[in-house]
Chains A and B, each alone.
Chain A
Amino acid sequence: MKRPGVLRTLAVLVATALTATACGGGDGEGGGQSGGSSAPGVTATTVTIGSHQPLTGPAAPGYSANSAASKAYFDYINESGGINGRKIVYKVVDDVYNPTQTVDVVHRLVLQDKVFAIFNGLGTPTHTKVLDYLNAQRVPDLFVASGCGCWDQPKKNPYTFGWQPDYIREGKILGQFIKEKYADKKVAYFYQNDDFGQDGLKGLDKYVPASQVAARQSYQPGGTDVGAQAQAIAQSKADVVVLFTIPTYTALFRLAALKLNYKPQIIVSNVGSDPITLTGLLESYAKKGGTELEGNPLIQGIITNSYLPAPGAKDNTWTELFRKIHAKYIPNLPFNGNIIYGMSAAYTFAQALKAAGQNPTRKGLVDALENSKFTGPGLVPFAYSKDSHSGYTGAQIGRIKGTSVVVEGQPLVTDAGDGPIQPSTVQQPQAPANGVPTG
């Protein structure tokens, strides 16, 4: 009888002690206010920013490297003295690509961690759920990692900025390519059934005549069975299949087509086309299905579009810079398109923070971006202005060759409406020698 009593007493004491420390330590607030600047998350020596990323779950393959690459670039900058003397503290929280968790973790980043800005939050279904909240709280919401056209609403959402080309622009450029190269072929669409896929189709439909489209099939992220959709597309006997998919579903569709011995020309929008990610996914899904295969030969010749330098690009100063940072900070991750993406977005953030001046405020950051003329790793210019919060304005058609994307033709720019598609007139500059933006 005595023993449980002692144990119980001990347990109660431990629980009390834990609760006391948790309550005492949990309220780490008020720390971010000192140091001359009145903005939350900014001290004399640091700027704290946060992000929601799919580190686990269905969108994690490939995308989980983005934030690691951004962090590596910030670490690199911090080591050379930071931006305007402040080091960038980057807090990344996993939201599993689940909108409900996105809401939860973003509330936490804003209210508890008091971040200065949300940077590169990933996903259309996820980030749309915190859009109103961030703008109501006046938290800069920079460079959403998604090409939804919905980020570009400066009147309604003055604090939100896109970064990558929006899916309508991508759809238009891919659509024009199909119109020119595959005019008499049957086309099928396979897309994610949300703003991501639907926006892409809007762009495609501006160029590809409806009579040419033999099938439209969609999926909901979450499940991993796309057999029925692939079957329907194969039965439509389409010669060209356009995919607006995240990498997981690009791989699943490719495997399903292989199983059906269906060999169309596949065109994948940028987000679902990273060759190294796809190779890994194809092999791991094939293994789960009980077969061994080499993933890389399956994706050769897939057509896609790019707006950043390819990881395998020769003589590109940006690729060299990013490769150097990669080798120093995150050598264990494969050097792929996601690494280039994460570092390029981080570079743009560093530019914006520098432009916001010695004492950055939230409003100041937004103003700096609206008045910016940034150039950087991108193949095409940004659209940032008072009237547009859209990021890159176009892309270049490319083809998967080996483990890289080889671009062809010239970079194209357009708008998200009915405007024409034109060749870009802005040249990609050389990367700064020390890798830190100059202004």
Chain B
Amino acid sequence: MNLQTTNPQPKNARAHAPLDRGWAGVVLRMLRRHTLLRHTLLAVVAVVALAYLTGAVSPYRDLQIAHMAYIVCAAAGLTVLTGLGGQISLGHGAFMAIGAYTTALVLNHWAWPLAAVLLAAVTVTAVAGFIVGVAAARLHGPYLAGATLALAVGLPGLVSYEPVTGLLGGQNGLSVSPSPPPLALGETFPLERWQAWISCLCAVIVMWLLANLTHSRLGRSLPATRDDEIAAALSGIRVARVRIITSVVAAACAGLGGGLLAVVTTLAAPGAFPLTLSLQLVAAVVLGGLGSLAGAVWGSVVLVLVPNWASDPDASAHLPHNVASNLPALIFGTVLIVVTLLFPRGMQGGFRWVGRQVKRRLTERTG
């Protein structure tokens, strides 16, 4: 008793003492308690930061940001499915393909507004995700990997199937012509920035929804089904239902990503959805940090930027074609190996580690 009261200050109280007083303290405490409020605030900050960033960089960087943003959509869904739900999907590229082709068809045939088109892509892919999810909920480990792999290999090949080549354009694909930036933004407003805005806005919405989802009842039951299916079932979680819902969510995110891909590249073609895309998505999620939404962002950034640097025509001009064309994959693979060796929890784990080290040093110095 005596000892406790003479203890100068409990550790926690000291760490937060200066902030817990006054208005700042009230706001901080509220944010810590209200998940929805915190995520909304983060989303608003992200939108403002991205709006500033896209305005400050060149059109080409804007285009790359647009690429990253649609990959974030797909990767974020996958990290929830694989990282939290423990279900591996090697066929996420196929869901992106469904989203892209839905977008192309709806846009070309009915010319709906873009938001409605993307919503249609999400809906169609969600239905596909439900069908796959029902089947996948009965499968485990390698069987699930095999089934989803078959999807990634088989689905893009369907466009070459004779009866649908007229509708889907075969290997040639379907050209997409989304409407140009609204005139209200000025006549010289770069198309690439407009594409980046659309993509980023969708990515922020996806992240906001998924962040809230992972903090919900469903989100908490996901790791339970991943870690021990029987224990989860005994505690009243309907494992199959949880898995199907996750499947639908992940597919819908990938569908949105695919729809955005079609809008940004103005094309939906089977060449955009090779097996390597599905594998790269898994790699991006692992690289960023399995199960962490922020990790999906880091993974997507690396996935877009590394091949771009590696395939710079000036840098690779002196290499033979066969070496130069495989360089991006080589560098990406090396990065993946190094990161997983040093930071088993991915880049997000690495950042946390750096944060902890810095904090420790600081407290050592001040204490």
Measuring CB to CB, which residues of chain A are less than 8 angstroms from any residue of chain B?
4, 7-9, 11-12, 22, 26-29, 55-56, 64, 91-94, 96, 98-101, 103-104, 107-108, 111-113, 125, 128-129, 132-133, 136, 193-195, 220-222
Q: Does B342 contact A (CB under 8 A)?
A: yes
- Supposing A12-B350, A64-B321, A94-B325 touch, asked if A129 and B175 sit within 8 A by C-beta, the answer is yes
Q: Does B146 contact A (CB under 8 A)?
A: no
Question: Would you call B313 and A113 a contact (CB within 8 A)?
Answer: yes
Question: Would you call A99 and B177 a contact (CB within 8 A)?
Answer: no
Known contacts A91-B314, A100-B272, A132-B266, then 17 further A-B pairs from the complex at CB < 8 Å, ordered by chain A residue: A4-B342, A26-B309, A56-B321, A92-B313, A94-B325, A96-B325, A98-B271, A99-B173, A100-B271, A104-B265, A108-B60, A111-B58, A113-B313, A128-B172, A193-B165, A194-B170, A220-B170
29 contacts between A and B (CB under 8 A): A4-B342, A7-B342, A11-B338, A11-B342, A11-B350, A12-B350, A22-B309, A26-B309, A28-B314, A29-B58, A55-B321, A56-B321, A91-B313, A94-B324, A94-B325, A96-B325, A99-B269, A100-B269, A103-B265, A103-B266, A103-B267, A107-B63, A111-B63, A112-B58, A113-B313, A129-B266, A194-B171, A220-B170, A222-B160
Question: Would you call B160 and A220 a contact (CB within 8 A)?
Answer: yes
Q: How far is the CB of A87 from chain B (nearest CB, A)?
A: 15
Which residues of A sit under 8 angstroms from B322, Cβ to Cβ?
56
Q: How far is the CA of A265 from the CA of B172 in the complex (A)?
A: 30
- Supposing A98-B271, A193-B165 touch, asked if A222 and B313 sit within 8 A by C-beta, the answer is no
Question: Would you call A99 and B321 a contact (CB within 8 A)?
Answer: no
Q: How far is the CA of A7 from the CA of B350 in the complex (A)?
A: 12
Q: How far is the CB of B191 from chain A (nearest CB, A)?
A: 8
Q: Does B219 contact A (CB under 8 A)?
A: no
Q: How far is the CA of A293 from the CA of B272 in the complex (A)?
A: 37
Measuring CB to CB, which residues of chain B are less than 8 angstroms from any residue of chain A?
58-61, 63, 160, 165, 170-173, 175, 177, 191-192, 265-267, 269, 271-272, 305, 308-309, 311, 313-314, 321-322, 324-325, 338, 342-343, 350, 353-354, 357
Closest to A99 in B: B269
Q: How far is the CA of A111 from the CA of B195 in the complex (A)?
A: 14
Q: How far is the CB of A156 from chain B (nearest CB, A)?
A: 13
Which residues of B sit under 8 angstroms from A128, Cβ to Cβ?
172, 175
- Picked from A94, A108, A113, A129, the residue with its CB within 8 Å of the CB of B173 is A129
Closest to A29 in B: B58
Closest to A103 in B: B265
Q: How far is the CB of A126 from chain B (nearest CB, A)?
A: 9
Q: How far is the CA of A151 from the CA of B324 in the complex (A)?
A: 31
Q: How far is the CB of B340 from chain A (nearest CB, A)?
A: 12
Q: How far is the CA of A193 from the CA of B191 in the complex (A)?
A: 32
Which residues of B sit under 8 angstroms from A9, Cβ to Cβ?
357
Q: How far is the CA of A91 from the CA of B342 in the complex (A)?
A: 38
Q: How far is the CB of B278 from chain A (nearest CB, A)?
A: 15
Question: Would you call B309 and A125 a contact (CB within 8 A)?
Answer: no
Which residues of B sit under 8 angstroms from A103, Cβ to Cβ?
265-267
Which residues of B sit under 8 angstroms from A98, Cβ to Cβ?
269, 271
Closest to B320 in A: A55
- Picked from A111, A193, A220, the residue with its CB within 8 Å of the CB of B192 is A111
Question: Would you call A8 and B342 a contact (CB within 8 A)?
Answer: yes
Q: How far is the CA of A136 from the CA of B192 in the complex (A)?
A: 12
Question: Would you call A94 and B321 a contact (CB within 8 A)?
Answer: yes
Question: Would you call A101 and B271 a contact (CB within 8 A)?
Answer: yes
Closest to A110 in B: B60
